Amino acid sequence: MGNLEATYRTKIKRLPKRASYNKKIINKILDCSFVCHIGFNIADQPFVIPTCYGVENEKIFFHGSAASRMLDHIKTGSEICIAVTIVDGIVLARSAFHHSINYKSLVIFGKAAEITGKEEKIKALKIITEHIIPGRWDDVRKPNKKELNATLVFSLNLDEVSAKVREGGPSDEDADMDLNIWAGVLPLKVVPGEPVADYSLNKNILLPEYTKNYKIQKS
């Protein structure tokens, strides 16, 4: 899939050995989550808002209320920054200084484009839904005209992106290696719990297979 060219905004200077501009790695990180944080600036006041997303054809899609201040600002063509982070573990070192976290993360820069056509908008909402829980879109009632009018949908090309990954154990100083202190990694991952049916659900409706066998980290 190749590499993206690093720009002045995406070039990682702090611990560059952890950096990656490889599209395969970037797509894997995006596939392992569905929550991002969008950074934007209004009148010199920075904001960061979490939201869900979907990915297809080297674009990231997100949506929200037509009354959203963030989305209203993005409509003007302002630059935004999107971040995705996956925590894989806590790194416990022998010294307080060398404690760390194993993670996969990426940052996306650019100007998002609003999706306005009805069919294109519905397709983008399907992409977001299927990214979060594959198989769900075919089961649900599709958005009606009122709901579509109340929703703004955007896409952003994955042209200016950098990933950063930390793996492995602690990086202790040689002088600390013989200390009588446990060191290593505490792995962490998000796993689905037991599905809880809506209290008013018809008892004859069975739990869908895509819910029963759901995995958050797809890759």
Percent of the chain with pLDDT over 70: 98
Place 217 in a pLDDT band, splitting at 50, 70 and 90. Answer: low
Q: Residue 58 is part of a domain; what is its CATH number?
A: 2.30.110.10
Place 216 in a pLDDT band, splitting at 50, 70 and 90. Answer: confident
pLDDT of residue 114: 97
In a domain, 98, yes or no: yes
pLDDT of residue 206: 95
For the chain, what is the mean pLDDT? Answer: 94
In a domain, 81, yes or no: yes
In a domain, 7, yes or no: no
pLDDT in tens, 136-154: 999 999 999 999 999 999 9
In a domain, 56, yes or no: yes
pLDDT of residue 219: 47
d(CA 198, CA 118): 31
pLDDT in tens, 201-212: 999 999 999 999
pLDDT of residue 80: 97
pLDDT at position 47 over 50:
yes
Residues in the chain: 219
* Residue 98 · residue 172 · CB < 8 Å: yes
Domain that holds residue 20: 16-212
d(CA 127, CA 125): 5
pLDDT of residue 218: 57
In a domain, 5, yes or no: no
**Total domain count for the chain?**
1
d(CA 3, CA 16): 15
In a domain, 49, yes or no: yes
pLDDT at position 163 over 90:
yes
In a domain, 1, yes or no: no
In a domain, 4, yes or no: no
Place 73 in a pLDDT band, splitting at 50, 70 and 90. Answer: very high
Neighbours of 99 (CB within 10 A): 13
